[in-house]
Amino acid sequence: MKGKIIVTGGAGFIGSAIIWGLNKLGIDNILIVDHMDESLKWKNLVGLKFMDYMDKEDFLIAILDGKFNQENIHCIFHMGACSSTTERDAGFMFKNNFEYSKHLATFAIRKEIRFIYASSAATYGDGSQGFSDDHGILEKLKPLNIYGYSKHLFDLWLRRNGLLDKVVGLKYFNVYGPNEYHKGEMRSFVIKAYEQIIQTGEVKLFKSYKPEYKHGEQKRDFIYIKDAVDMTLFFFQNRKPWGIFNIGTGKAHTWNELVDAVFKALGKQARIKYIDMPVELRNQYQYFTEADISKLIKCSYKKSITSFEDAIMDYVRNYLMSDKYLTQ
């Protein structure tokens, strides 16, 4: 393969895992674009192979100044974004998640570079419109938080400008696994449950405020990072599919099932305590998400998806218990 691979958000959770996956394919001609802060996300890069690193603001300036016009770039994985679902600064989210993405997409499309970007299942809002990645329902979606809306805006911008047949957008559902350690409150509940069990011997879950859902029976489509990487790299290795695709398992599981699986991985009996949900979260809480992955399957994606219990077992026993990262 000729040409450079660029991964924005390359030190982050999904970005660093994509680099891990590229390394497994023997690819290391990679430019990482990110913003290093006081978090420990730099540890995600230790052991990975790449050619260079560039700050995200310097990279955008270089793109706008035409400094990459003569570069031979094979693909851009645009994973960089603020993914906090509790962020309230709409101006920051518009600039960081929406405006930045428009600049990169415009550059990639003009240069005919494969452009694969992270959208989000948060764009589906309360799920009342379903979870189909059919482009026809995009205009009907109403995200519940500014993170989801910033992602949705970019999806809509591409559609309204007739550009969805020139890019690949991936709506990641609830991804969990190694390399998420730096994400603080935005880490998956798998690692939070693990920590609670180690510290207190029990796990706290939010009560349900809808009669059709018992406590802990709210459902999410949880997908292991290794499966998310396999699906993402499918679009790197197959250049024909275009448009928006869901990245999930297609099967939702309850929070109770998740907690039970973590306890099982630790060889312990489950102990769950149900607590009140903060008032500020109740109006933006998703009670059910489940990816419709039929479009992905129709594009000939054939890899089997790791079973829920096996994925959590792998994460807990091979990474959390030994403090390991995805590396070579």
Q: Which residues are catalytic?
A: 147, 183
Q: Which residues contact 314 (CB under 8 A, 6 or more apart)?
A: 224, 226, 306
Q: Is 257 exposed, middle or buried (0-12, 13-18, 19+ CB in 10 A)?
A: middle
Residue recorded with tokens 């790449």: 50
What three-state secondary structure class fits 157? Answer: helix
Structure tokens, 214? 């018992």
Nearest CA among 99, 171, 110, 106 for reference residue 135: 171
51 sits in the region (left: phi over 0; alpha: psi -120 to 50; else beta) called alpha
CB neighbour class for 135 (10 Å; exposed up to 12, middle 13-18, buried from 19):
middle
Extended strands (E) in 104-221: 114-120, 168-172, 174-176, 203-206, 219-220
Distance of CA 152 to the CA centre of its chain: 14
How many angstroms separate the CA atoms of 227 and 307, rounded? Answer: 10
- 3-state SS assignment for residue 257: helix
Are 325 and 46 in contact by the 8 Å Cβ rule? The answer is: yes
**Which of 316, 31, 33, 39 minimizes the C-alpha distance to 198?**
316
Q: Pairing mode, if any, of strands 219-220 and 253-254?
A: antiparallel
Q: Would you say 13 and 191 are in contact if contact means Cβ atoms under 8 Å apart?
A: no
